Structures are given as structure tokens and as C-alpha cells.
Chains A and B, each alone.
Chain A
């Protein structure tokens, strides 16, 4: 019988956002720190977490209570889901979102990520991988949320990042020069994806030399926030952007950190520029709160909703239309596959005959390499060999990739990095299995209650 652990959470405290200093350690003013903490009273010092940490942020040795160096922590939560004693805790916005749901004036938007629809069932006794799309929509609406699927925003990410990739191909590989391509001239190959916030923070702390290589396109959630507060507010929901409260539902704990980054208030800046909100409005973030898959299950439980008992029927709405490319974002290799489907179409002028690019899928390999031939319609059918790589889990494979590109900078064109092995489906915000996630547990004769 599969069962899931209860993970303890704590609300953000008054000093979670730091003081008035512009920089503090590796944090900027306003950024959330201490999202993942180890409970010092219950940690037995088994050392399991350290082998899962991609940045060696956990201090302590065998038998001594461990602690996390917050300056090195990327908040990915891999230690949390792999702790055999469930003593690692997560910052949570459940209370804040519950209060907003009660407030009639606020238009609360739920923004659920791809990987949540295959894991939410587990919190209610379902099988891993059970697909709950319409059931989840219905449950969220019953809880008082308005729907906006992240998968739809993921399609925006592909259009933006795919266009960026094509411009880079034209500028760097085909030698085209035009004012339109000028701004990719300082973004050389290899091109790294930017959808994984733990990877972005990892690069910022440990590999700042890679910053020009990382895509400037935001992650799907951070595209969803500004679109909800500008486009959807005006053209779909007809609401005042100041009343909109966007709560994302993610499989990830690093997204909690990402949402607190101070530059992510694009909607506020845009609306002020266009004069749609008064000039003296106080700045608001694009994403107001980030809930993990476990947090949303907690809200459902508090409200007495079981998503598995919900109806499977849901009317088609503008904000929930998405493509297959958007949904596979949750898997390792998915962003790559989705981007290549669109890039192939734009470069060759025709759709891929078989859209399932299995060579890039990160099922069990730690590091996947592939060459994708793309015929170029503007060059009389000349074939471009796009060399791609997928890093499935940053703790081991990032080093290998970096070694490869220092030795041969032409080895890859496009690299997807996912911090968590398997991709977002195995993220730090997902339901934690008593059997399976932890390595120690199945060895014990009796179920362990922690």
C-alpha cells in the first residue's frame, strides 16, 4: 500500500524577507530565505539528505543534527522529499491563501503546473501518475479559485524561447545579420533553458560565467503571472488587476523563492507605463503566493474537498487551452522536446512527422545527448544538425556538462537543465512517499511515524 508522508510546514516569518540591506549573503532585498529548513530537534543525522543536495548546502556529519547553509541552498527540496524521517520542513502560504479565498473582493486565481495533475491523486489515496485534469479544475473552482492553467503559459514560454532559439541559430550558426537579430549578439551558444528556478539560482551562485548563455525567456509560471494581471484581466476576466491574486500550484519549492525575486513585477511596471493603474499604486508581484502540491491538498482537506470524487466534466475555457508541448514540461527532457517541436516547424516550414522526440526524453539516463536534423526552408532544404543535451538531475550531471563545454564549446547548442532527477514530476513540492522516495524506509520492518 502506498502512503504519503505528512510534511510539516511553517508560515513565512517577519524576517523571512531579510532586512533593509540591498544584498545579504546570496540574497537580494526582499527575497525569501529559509524556505527549506531542517528541524533541529528531530534530525537524527542519518546523512541521507546530503547525498541528494545538488549544491552541498547541508552541513553536519553522521549522528549530528544537520543544518542548511541558506546562502548555498537553491530551495529545490530534494533533501525534503528524500529525508527518511520526514524532519525537513517547508515554508508555506496556505494560511495566507485561505484568508484571500474568504475575502470576497479578491479575485483569486489558481495556476496549476503540469506535474501537479499527475501527483495530486496520491495525496488522496490514488496511484502515482493518475491523470486528474478536470477533477483538479473542478476541485479548485469549488475551493473558490478561478482557473488559469500553467500549461497554457508554458505554450507562451515555448513561443518566446523557441523564437529566441531561432534568432540565435540565425545569428550564430547561419551568419545572418539584421537589426532584428542584434540583441542576441550578446547571448552566445550553448543556449540553456531557464524554466527551473533552482538551476537558475545554482548558476547564479556557482557558475556566473554561464549567465549570458541562459535564456532570457521567463519560466512558465512567471509568464503566467504578468499575463493574468494584464491580458487576462482586461480581455478575459474583465477585472481590476489590483484585485487579482495569483496563487500558483507547483511541484516545486524553488518556485516559492523565484516568485519573491524583486524583478518579477512586470505586470505592475507595464500597467503603470500604460496608465491602466494610478501612478501612486504600491508595487505588487506577478505571483502573489506559491503553493506546493502538498499545500493544495492541505487546502482541499481543510475545505473538505476530495478531488478524486469530483466530476470529470469541465467546459472548455480560454484560460485552460493547452497543447501536448505544454504538458510535457513536467518531465525531464520535456522543455527540450516542446521547444524543438515549435523550432522545427518555424525553421523547416512543416510539422514534425513524428512529434514524439524520444531521444531527448530523460527517463532513466542521467545525461541525454542527441542530434536533431532540421531542414531549413530559407536555405533550399539544407540540413542543420542541432546538437542538444538534457541534464536530468543537477547534483551529478551539471559537472559533466560543464566539463564538456569547457573542453569543446561547440559540443552542444541547446541544453536543458532540470534540478530534480526525472524533472518536475519528482520536484521538492510533490507528495512524499513513505515507500519509494526514502531509501531507508523499505528496509525497516515497521512503518515509521515521524
Chain B
């Protein structure tokens, strides 16, 4: 019976205690990476928020100057007056509007190759 191979019972390789240990380590790893990733997302969001904050600060500054909404801008009024037009007037329509949106899905088709 010298060379007889006896398979070890499962419990010998990986005992219940080992299983709990490995499980614990894995949970810790997952939790820590999860924390690190949310931290990065937060930081990424925070610099976007900081820039947004800057613009709202500028908005507040303009509001204090009584320049809250676009129709209060005296330069805008002057430009319409000088050009003798009004919002959506004939000249405003020419300079400030477009109707040139293209269905580009079909432009792909027009450029399609056929071997």
C-alpha cells in the first residue's frame, strides 16, 4: 500500500476557518476599492462643482448690478436699435438664426461603398 494515493478530504485543504479568513480579506479588498472609487468620483465631481460655483458667483455679482436677465442688457438693446430690428425680426433672423440642420444619418449612406 506504499504508493496508494489517498485523496485528502476537502476540509484538509481549505478548512472552515480558512474560508472565513479568505472571505474576510476579500470583503475588505472590495470595500476598500469601492471606497477609493467613490472618493475619486466625488473629487471629480467636486472640481466641476467648484467651477459651477464660480459662475453662480458671477451671476450674483451681475444680479447686484441689476443685470439679472438678458432683456435687461443695455448693449443688447443698442444692437437691435442700431440694426433697426427686434428679436426674430427680419435682420435678426438672417444673422442669428439657422435652418441648416442636416440629416447626417443618410449622408453616411450616400458615402457608402459598394464593392
0 or 1 for each of A175-208: is its CB under 8 Å from B? (1 = yes)? 0000000000000000000000000110111101
**Contact residues, A78-134 vs B (CB, 8 A):** 114-115, 117-119, 127-131, 133
| Residue in B60, B68, B87 whose beta carbon sits within 8 Å of that of A163 in the complex | B87
Contacting residue for B70 out of A71, A208, A325, CB 8 A:
A325
Would you give the shortest CB distance from B18 to chain A, in whole angstroms? Answer: 29
B63 beta carbon closer than 8 Å to chain A: yes
- B40 contacts A by Cβ under 8 Å: yes
Residues of A with C-beta under 8 A to B27: none
Q: Are A263 and B68 in contact (CB under 8 A)?
A: no
Within 8 A of B (CB), among A275-331: 318-319, 321-328, 330-331
The listed residue (A156, A269, A334, A338) touching B79 by CB distance below 8 A is: A156
Cβ contacts under 8 Å, B44 to chain A = 436-437, 439
Please pick, from B47, B74, B76, the residue contacting A128 in the complex, using a CB distance under 8 A.
B47
Band of interface residues on B: 35 or more
Do A23 and B110 have beta carbons less than 8 Å apart? Answer: yes
CA distance A421 to B49 in the complex (A): 11
The CA-CA distance from A217 to B70 in the complex, in Å, is 15
Which residue in A155, A159, A261, A426 is a CB contact (below 8 Å) of B100? A261
Query: Closest approach, in angstroms, between the C-beta of B7 and any C-beta of chain A?
Result: 39
A122 to nearest B CB, angstroms? 9
What band does the interface of chain A fall in when counting residues whose beta carbon is under 8 Å from B?
Answer: 35 or more
Pair count A-B, CB < 8 A: 236
User: B75 contacts A216, CB within 8 Å?
Assistant: no
Q: Would A426 and B48 count as touching, CB distance under 8 A?
A: yes
In the complex formed, the residue of A with least CB distance to B92 is: A160
For A118, give its contact among B51, B63, B75 (CB under 8 Å). B51
Interface of chain B: mostly helix, strand, loop or mixed: helix
Taking A323-B68, A324-B68 as contacts, is the C-beta distance between A355 and B63 under 8 angstroms? yes
Q: Which residues of B contact A364 (CB under 8 A)?
A: 45, 49
> Which residues in chain B, 4-45, are within 8 Å of chain A measured between CB atoms?
36-37, 39-41, 43-45
Closest Cβ neighbor of B45 among chain A residues? A364
Q: Determine if B54 and A325 form an interchain contact, defined as CB atoms under 8 angstroms apart.
A: no
Instruction: Knowing A217-B97, A269-B94 are in contact, say whether A159-B76 is a contact too (CB < 8 A).
Output: yes
**Cβ-defined contact, A26 with B50, below 8 A:** no
Which listed segment binds B: A34-42, A56-64, A224-232? Answer: A224-232
- Residues from chain B with a CB closer than 8 A to the CB of A355 are 63, 68-69
Q: Is A270 an interface residue (CB 8 A)?
A: yes
Contact assessment for B73 and A152 in the assembled complex, using a CB-CB cutoff below 8 Å: yes
Question: Known contacts A25-B108, A167-B88, A321-B75: does B96 contact A334 (CB below 8 Å)?
Answer: no
Cβ of A141 within 8 Å of any chain B Cβ, yes or no, is no
Residues of A within 8 A of B101 (CB): 200, 203-204, 211, 214
Q: Which of A204, A334, A421 contacts B104 (CB 8 A)?
A: A204
How many angstroms from the CA of A218 to the CA of B97 in the assembled complex?
Answer: 5
A360 to B54, CA, bound (A): 18
Chain B residues near A255: list those with CB within 8 A. Answer: none
A25 and B107 form a contact (CB under 8 A): yes
Closest to B50 in A: A129
Chain B residue numbers with a CB within 8 Å of A332 are: 52
Chain B proximity of A356: nearest CB distance (Å): 8
7 A-B pairs with CB atoms under 8 Å apart are A71-B108, A118-B58, A230-B83, A324-B59, A364-B49, A426-B51, A439-B44
Residues of A within 8 A of B (CB): 2, 21, 23-28, 71, 114-115, 117-119, 127-131, 133, 152, 154-160, 162-164, 167, 200-201, 203-206, 208, 211, 214, 216-218, 222-223, 226-227, 230-231, 234-235, 261, 263-264, 266-267, 269-270, 318-319, 321-328, 330-332, 334, 338, 341-342, 345-346, 351-352, 355-356, 363-364, 421-423, 425-426, 433, 435-437, 439, 442-443
